[in-house]
Amino acid sequence: MPVSFTTTTLPLILRTLPSSTMASSSLAIPSVSLKTLSFTSSDAFNKGIRGFALKNGNPSRVFMSLSVGSQTQAVFVDDTLFLDYKPTSAFLFPGQGAQAVGMGKEAHGVSAASELYKKANDILGYDLLELCTGGPKEKLDSTVISQPAIYVTSLAAVEVLRARDGGQQIIDSVDVTCGLSLGEYTALAFAGAFSFEDGLKLVKLRGEAMQEAADAAKSAMVSVIGLDSDKVQQLCDAANQEVDEADRVQIANYLCPGNYAVSGGVKGVEAVEAKAKSFKARMTVILFRRCRHHHLFTVNNHGSDFSQVRLAVAGAFHTSFMEPAVSRLEAALAATEIRQPRIPVISNVDAQPHADPATIKKILARQVNYS
């Protein structure tokens, strides 16, 4: 039975196709092999002992950790452990911009889901579920609210799915996960790399730090649709010739073939938007940061009239404009216990799965200002 939690915050379930049908599919998932792994029993996991070993594999790829109370002793970590994975099912978690008033309302009927919101209230200091279900939209759209809201609601959606007929079977079938930007934290929590509470504390700080960095500079983002990455880079180069260093732009997100987000100073983004038609872009979607909680989102399809709607993604995310947020995030990550994920989690920075907790921390810190 499908889950009607909310389409914007449900983890997307992906299933790989047989090789004979992959050529006609628009979905391509990287190849990964978990078949050689033997996991410890769930009983051992619940008692605080985590570990696994390879069957007939390379002995250098062995890791075990023993957790007793708050003490964790790492025996060995190989960051390349998941590089040969071959997934069958994946969860893809959403990032900022997916929030919508009304999300999370099904949590009222699922105790495990509503419990997550109760835990979140203690950490955040406000009623998150009330904000998610009732708004106001302007408040939910702010970076400091939307990031924790999407993280909690995404994991609550998993609990709603778990409570449905066949839901646990679907969850158990997932053998790789990832998420867009903020969604990587949700994916790591789902994969057991850190607790729900620790992940929420990181996401709360991340949202605050990114909001402060966005408020400190006149920055913006524009999505360029209908060009390949080389053409978008040429478009950025042309725009950068017309603006000062402080307003330069760069590709921030490789969203999918033909859709790339460009971030930088407002004047640079305006130059990209103005030049996009001459580069034969099909459409541009531009986001201007007007004030702390309001962002003007304009669609230009280069041939028809402008249309204007609201979207809550602020500032030049994943560029050097976010540099002030990095040090705060590094300090928080250093103080957080991160364990090896139980399944591969694909990084936004390098599109690879990482097993080493120290590497995961570095990747998460780099993520906010890396493109």
Q: Which residue numbers are catalytic?
A: 181, 318
245 DSSP assignment: G
CA distance 31 to 352: 11
CA 25, CA 140: separation in Å to the nearest integer?
36
Distance of alpha carbon 225 from alpha carbon 258, whole angstroms: 5
**What letter would DSSP give residue 114?**
H
Specify the DSSP class assigned to residue 105: G
Distance CA 225, CA 227 (A): 6
C-alpha 58/C-alpha 292 separation (Å) is 52
To the nearest 10°, the Cα dihedral for 17, 23, 26, 28? 60
User: Which of 253, 158, 151 is CA-nearest to residue 202?
Assistant: 151
CB 314 within 8 A of CB 214: yes
- Residue 205 DSSP symbol: H
- For residue 347 the two structure tokens come to 């990084």
Strands 37-39 and 12-15: unpaired
Tokens 């478009």 — which residue? 235
Residue 89 CB neighbour total at 10 angstroms: 17
Find out whether 68 and 48 touch, Cβ atoms under 8 Å.
Answer: yes
Amino acid at 228: D
As a whole number of angstroms, the distance between CA 294 and CA 338 comes to 34
Rounded-to-integer distance, Cα 189 and Cα 132, Å:
20
